[in-house]
Amino acid sequence: MATKPILWEPFHLGRLELSHRLALAPMTRSRANADGTPGPGAALYYRQRASLGLLITEGTQPSADGQGYMNTPGIYTPAQIEGWREVTDAVHAEGGALFIQLMHVGRISHPENTEHHRQGVAPSAIAPATKIVTPSGMHDNPVPRELSVDEIAATVADFRHAAASAIAAGADGVEVHAANGYLLTQFLSPNANHRTDSYGGSVENRARFVIEVAAAVADEIGADRTGIRISPGLTAGGIDEGPREDVHAQYEYLVAELAKLNLAYLHVHHGGDDDLLRKLRALWPTALLVVRLGRTREQLGDDIEAGLADILPLGRWALANPDIVERLRVDAPFTEPDPSTFYGGGAHGYTDYPTLEEAAVGD
């Protein structure tokens, strides 16, 4: 089935002029080196997908305490900056643009997975009732340590420093990860945030940390180089944001406040509440990126036609099809991804998925 013509219309996003409406969604691949520098295949992995135009990287920790999984990259040391520069140079050489996603996992962590072996941190000392892979096997996520107000301010400063480091590495911008059950979502969620100070309780207080992080990053590198990702109502990482009306109240307030910053984009991991998506679209003044759960190839472009999105990031399809843009243009079949290679390992399932041209040579 031929793709919708609207997918191939150009779009202006922040400082970028994009030639189409597709992008690479952030996907954890767990192939970084032990010191948090990007692994040996990272530059090739992202370069292969540069035709997507806007590439949003895997979650990248803004500090040592921001790491939760094994072999995830960071962007806060000189060595990490140099490692990411190889990636940005490779993407730019192919005409793509790269936003580094800043992801602090908060309580979704385990001491075995980090170099410092410290307890995870969170808005409150509440375990997520989820499990995590470690070098010694699958374990429960332990109870985190509650951040003090001073430590919250220090974490905001960590995001600011990481954003500056991303730009020093040649990135075109950063995406603040406020979705999918990680630290910023934990502050938003009443079942993870039991604080009674200015960072807990009310809708306004629970949103405060997210807004402070976004404002600090935008102040450091420019609002037009700053995006932010949210996932209203999704339950990843043991998150429960309450009944639908509470989710609406929380995210309508948050997005209205973030809109005042005039960021480059809002990235919504959409769980299917189209009424809320319409409200957020009306509140948001710049580009809206939407990843819709369960979206089919035939439905790709529907949200743009409906006025609910401007850019459509692609996840697993792009993981297994480095030339996904070409495949969509010519209506070619997709290669199916191998889930056993999603996290960790080497080149297999990472940089060895063939393009149409390579597959034809192999035949």
Task: State the catalytic residues.
Answer: 182
Q: Strand order of the sheet with strand 22-24?
A: 287-292, 265-270, 226-230, 173-178, 97-102, 54-60, 22-24, 312-314
DSSP string, 201-215: SSHHHHHHHHHHHHH
What is the CB-side half-sphere exposure of residue 286 using CA atoms within 13 A? 22
Query: Which residues, at least 6 apart from 125, have a Cβ–Cβ distance to it below 8 Å?
Result: 143, 144, 145, 146
End-to-end CA gap in the chain = 24
Q: What is the DSSP letter of 21?
A: S
Tell me phi and psi for residue 73, to 5 degrees: -80, 160
Contact residues for 127 (Cβ-Cβ < 8 A; gap 6+): 107, 140, 141, 142, 143, 144, 238
Residue of 82, 5, 91 whose CA lies nearest to 48? 91
Q: Looking only at Cα atoms, what is the longest distance across the chain?
A: 64
CA-based R_g, the chain, Å: 19
Q: 228: part of which helix (H) or strand (E)?
A: strand 226-230
Q: What share of the chain is helix, strand, coil (3-state, %, to 5)?
A: 40, 15, 45
Which sign does the torsion angle of CA 153, 177, 311, 42 carry?
A: positive
Contact 311, 289 (CB under 8 A): yes
Q: Which residues lie closer than 8 Å to 291 by C-beta, 6 or more apart?
A: 25, 267, 268, 269, 270, 312, 313, 315
Question: Are 86 and 38 contacting, i.e. CB atoms less than 8 angstroms apart?
Answer: yes
